[in-house]
Structure 1
Amino acid sequence: MPTIPEVLFVCVHNAGRSQMAAALLDHHAQGRVHVRSAGSQPADQLNPAVVAAMAEMGLDISKEFPKPLTDDVVRAADVVITMGCGDACPIYPGKTYLDWQLDDPAGKDIDDVRPIRDQIEARVKALIAELTTGT
């Protein structure tokens, strides 16, 4: 029985990019990938423009909340994708690390968040194809 890959998305506040990526991966992978997200300095709440942009796609992330980055979640991951968290993410052997350079949606309105969401969705779809080849 094949192992289901575990993906961890990390950004600074876990209020925008990493939350969108986690929701999109969970949605598109349909159980073929386990997904988590975390922040090196978690915010108090999700970015409202991010919540609205995801709702436009039929994905309700309004009940999500920013989570702290811990060694345990990094150790559990097979793939760690950082999005502007700098050197805050611990590095462990045997993990795949990717850095997605994306604009930070902090302080942006929904019109500026949509292109970020769409870039994340394209990357997530490519990631799913890569992770699930042969499953």
Structure 2
Amino acid sequence: MKEKTIDYILRSTWMGVQKMYNEEAGRKESTMATGFALISIDPEEGTASTALGPKMGMEATSLSRTLKVMEEKGLIERKPNPLDGRGVLIHLTPFGKEMRTFSKGVVLRFDEAVKENISVEDLNTFKRVANTMLELINSKKIYDSEKHL
């Protein structure tokens, strides 16, 4: 192919971001998935384990593995949900809060670097395009089974 497809550009860009985040997380013996989970957990109230997967866009098995590792490293603790006896709340430990601050700083620094190098107009266009792509994907109209038989 002479020209790169939209899929290729998205995939290679995301892989670059992922690699960059994992390299930064590796400095603290962590991973991007752990950092993302830390940022997604409410630092004061905790977060229901059932709400965490959808919030992160992560499958239950991957999330279970990530939470298990985080618990082993002393980043989180699980506590019964006082509003739902069957549920569990994930709470950050003091070490988890410290690592959350680090993870948030990594994300914000990337945001700053992008904003320093890309105009507000171009970023707004990027956001509109990305949102339109998500709407197309979520509408499930791209691959209408009748058209592609």
Q: Do they fold alike, i.e. is TM over 0.5?
A: no
Greater percentage in helix: 2
Structure number with larger C-alpha Rg: 2
Query: Bigger relative contact order, structure 1 or 2, given CA contacts below 8 A and separation 6+?
Result: 1
